[in-house]
Amino acid sequence: MSGVALLFILLIGLMMASVPVGISLGLSTLVTMVLTTNLDVITIPQYCFRGLDSFPLMAIPFFMLAGNLMKFGGLSEKLINLSNSLVRGFKGGLGHVTVLASMFFAALSGSAPATVMAIGSNVIPQMEKHGYDRGYATALASTAGTIGVIIPPSIPFVIYGVVSGASISDLFVAGIIPGILIGIVLMVVNYIYARKYGYGGEGRASFREFLHELKDAIWALLVPVIILGGIYGGIFTPTESAVVAVVYTLIIGFVVYKELTWKKVWDAFMETGALNGTTTFMVGLSMSFAAYLTLAGIPSAVGQAILSLDAGPVVILLLINVVLLVVGCFVDNISSTIILTPILLPIAQGVGMTAVQFGIVMTVNLAIGFITPPYGVNLFYGSAIGKVSIEELSKKILPFIGAMIICLLLLTFIEPLSMWLPTLMAAKAG
């Protein structure tokens, strides 16, 4: 246990010193391995490359690229306009537009930060113009962005599927209802806030206007249909679906919407390359970190310790949620998924939870980490877009964190919310 203690002390110390997460994982593993084991340091790059040598992981850069092409190709604007025509007339209308547009874009991007950037940059100024508090508008957009990793396609689902062996297709389908649930709950919170502070609607759109916006956005809305339909129709794998999404977006951006240019395509490729380079580096070193934990017997030891507690399934599942919520405050989603899945999945399965449902619960837990300091990535993006301090944003976002936790508990203890659609699809396929 001394080696494990040293590992986590080094990891926490490096992260507190503002060392990037990927480097912190790699350095802490390297130093611990050198000082406490007889293993050759070549083991670290071996585990890195072994972990990255996965066909499903190839989906990540393609989903990133598809999301960026959609952003540069004007698809996010089409979705905002459609959302505007649907819900702007209700009390707190622009807040509802923010959530609904984020749900639509989530079905295209697979990334929480990308959703915040694409939607928030458009709606936050509009909300402020119509009298909304800027801090509140930014908090809502930052929270709604978390839906980007829950509604499929989802990059964390791909990572979890690779690590756990769970079906990525089932995870994609299982994320639909939880994503919609979170969106509805956020709209309820926004409605309550609007009633309290007197934010009304912005005038209902006519049916003709709605049809116009729907016609304009239909090509964008077809992306998740093509992805999920192709996967469950046996036409292509989740990885191949990401490539299809890229090709489709290029065609739509150039031919239909005519907003893509070769300059924008180049910018999308450059942004994707930079982001994917960081992500790949972090995934590889996370694999080495997780491998050391496995060699040290930590997953089985922790699992046995928790299961040996004189506690029922409810207490154990609550404990798992607390662990994930705390970790999500300090470690990014991808690293947390790789490191904690081997530890916590057997425990969850031991109290009757399926691997797919646990994937949903873990992802929602870690999605909350996107909006909780000090490592809340969505907070940083939201702060930059909305020009609101992290301190103010952290206060404004507390009601939304509470709403997300309520959704998390529902998803933890009501299995059909996650498993009804995968079970239904499996029954039809059978």
SS3 368: helix
Within a 10 A sphere around the Cβ of 122, how many other Cβ atoms? 19
Shortest CA distance to 100 belongs to which of 121, 113, 85? 85
Residue 374 preceded by cis peptide, ω within 30: yes
pLDDT for res 430 = 60
161 CB contacts (<8 Å, ≥6 apart)?
Answer: 56, 167, 168, 171, 238, 359
132 CB contacts (<8 Å, ≥6 apart)?
Answer: 94, 95, 199
Q: Where are the domains of the chain?
A: 1-41, 42-429
pLDDT digits (tens, 9 = 90+) for 342-394: 889 989 998 889 999 999 999 999 999 889 877 788 888 888 888 888 888 98
H or E stretch covering 72? helix 59-72
Point out the residues of the chain with pLDDT beneath 70: 1, 200-203, 429-430
Shortest CA distance to 85 belongs to which of 189, 202, 180? 202
pLDDT for res 157 = 93
pLDDT for res 132 = 87
Residue whose tokens read 């970190």:
289
SS3 302: helix
How far the first Cα of the chain sits from its last, in Å, is 48
H or E stretch covering 195? helix 176-197
pTM, two decimals, is 0.86
386 CB contacts (<8 Å, ≥6 apart)?
Answer: 120, 124, 134, 135, 137, 138, 141, 393
H or E stretch covering 316? helix 313-328
pLDDT for res 382 = 87
Residue type, position 93, single letter: G
- Tokens read off for 426: 């499996």
pLDDT for res 366 = 92
